[in-house]
């Protein structure tokens, strides 16, 4: 699932005895929303100029709908059939692809955090000791705690799959979710009520 799985397995004996800092040993890794030690305070940023995303739908009315194009790596928001906004996105990487199909928004959570992917932090200091933790597959090291990756402005539309604010490296890189620039994730979140149709196409 991750390039660093083998490394993590080799380090487990050490993790069992201490909450050691792995950041210098493993390098930077990216998971669901790009929340890493390096980006702990600027996870909303994107390394590429955004000449794709825009919102021009505040004056529009009518039922909302969302179309996600995996090939174009874009999401389109409609109101009453009229295009209200376009957002660049980062969808599921190879082996963890975002499923195509027709869905509906089933849950909204402004401050959602992942229950599966995140970081291990040292209790007392909050120092990140593992920036690519999988909550269900790794034991929490002694003296540490798990913090889920931020998936703010979360719109769930398929089992364990949703749209949310996240890091966009310029290609499909997530574990299945649809990452968006923060300003666009906010607009999609505010304008998509529960039940909003979501179409994912290739």
- Catalytic residue set: 164, 177
Beta bridge partners of 120: 130, 146
d(CA 192, CA 30): 28
Contact 113, 149 (CB under 8 A): yes
The full DSSP string for 103-139 is EE--EEETT-EEEEEEEEEETTT--EEEEEEETTTSP
Identify the three-state secondary structure at position 15.
helix
């Amino acid at each position: 699932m991750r390039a660093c799985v083998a490394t993590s397995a080799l380090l487990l004996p050490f993790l069992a005895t201490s909450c050691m800092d792995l950041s210098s040993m493993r390098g930077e890794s990216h998971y669901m929303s790009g929340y890493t030690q390096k980006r702990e305070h600027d996870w909303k940023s994107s390394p590429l100029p955004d000449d794709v995303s825009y919102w021009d739908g505040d004056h529009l009315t009518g039922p909302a709908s969302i179309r996600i194009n995996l090939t174009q790596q874009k999401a389109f928001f409609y109101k009453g059939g009229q295009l209200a906004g376009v957002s660049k996105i980062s969808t599921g990487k190879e082996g963890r692809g975002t499923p195509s199909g027709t869905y509906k928004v089933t849950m909204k959570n402004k401050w959602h955090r992942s229950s599966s992917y995140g970081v291990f932090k040292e209790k007392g200091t909050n120092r990140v000791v593992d920036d690519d933790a999988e909550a269900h597959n790794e034991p929490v090291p002694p003296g540490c705690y798990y913090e889920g990756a931020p998936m703010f402005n979360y719109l769930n539309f398929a089992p364990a799959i949703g749209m949310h604010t996240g890091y966009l490296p310029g290609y499909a890189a997530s574990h299945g979710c649809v990452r968006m620039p923060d300003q666009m994730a906010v607009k999609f979140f505010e304008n998509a009520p529960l039940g909003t149709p979501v179409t994912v196409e290739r």
